[in-house]
Amino acid sequence: MKVVAIIEARMASTRLPGKTLAPIMGRPMLALLIERLARSHLVQQIVVATTDRPEDVAIQQVAERLKAGCFRGSSEDVLDRVLRAAQEFKADLIVEVTGDCPLIDPAIVDQVVQKALETGCDYVGNFPHRTYPRGLEVRAFPTKTLAEVATLTSDPADREHVSLYIYEHPDQYKVMYIESGLPERWREARLTVDTTEDLEVVRTVFENLYPENPNFGLVDIIGFLERKPEILEINRQTRDKPVR
């Protein structure tokens, strides 16, 4: 099976416009995300699925500079955009990643992909059954499953949140979740980027860990934040927008 990581990314954002290319250590956030995904042993190709809006030319340019694939499609129908990207790049298994998760851990990516390949499940992930910090979300599902879903729903939430329909229908699809084994308090930690406060936290993590070890993973992040618990206070009050 061809395993393709597809990053959903766009410049428009209601809470933090342009966050996808926000600078971290002088580099676009998207570039750091692609770099980390490239360390996966099981992902065979990385594709950025962005929109056909003019401002997203900048995202295409970053993707191409880093030798990642790029597909441009609907700004509203994200499901269609990801499905068409998967089909264009001949993906058998989609690894869904969002552009606001630059701290994604390639070891977790490989764990999810390995389970998907071993079990043949319609969906393997660590979300929405959350035992990892926010920002470490990885989802894997066959392209053929997403193609089927595209014919079954026109609900705006399903079309915006690509794999929502799959994991909300465990009676229809075989769904499996990966557990972190971390203490429960880490489920509320925010390592994603939706606000300026989130960006400050993620920048601080990169600035403190990357120079010494560019390959740092979740274990290193947790060790750092345990020594500096005040960092997580910066965005503790931030809440995710509801899916529906």
- Domains along the chain? 3-183 (3.90.550.10)
Query: Which residue from 130, 111, 106 is spatially nearest to 190, judged by alpha carbons?
Result: 130
79's CB contacts (< 8 A; 6+ apart) are: 146, 149, 150, 158, 159, 160, 162
- The residue-averaged pLDDT of 183-212 equals 97
pLDDT, tens digit, 9 for 90 and up, residues 114-155: 999 999 999 999 999 999 999 999 999 999 999 999 999 999
Q: φ, ψ for residue 64 (rounded to 5)?
A: -65, -35
Alpha-helix residue ranges (DSSP H) falling in 7-154: 29-37, 57-65, 78-88, 106-119, 143-152
How confident is the model at residue 23, as a pLDDT? Answer: 98
pLDDT at 102 over 90: yes
DSSP state of 50: E
pTM passes above 0.85: yes
Give the range among 8-17, 54-63, 167-176 with minimum mean pLDDT.
Answer: 8-17
* Strand partners of residue 85: none
What percent of the chain clears pLDDT 90, i.e. is strictly above it? Answer: 96
Q: pLDDT at residue 179 above 90?
A: yes
Query: According to the model, what pLDDT value does residue 130 have?
Result: 94
Res 115: pLDDT = 98
Per-residue pLDDT reduced to its tens digit, 47-70:
999 999 999 999 999 999 999 999
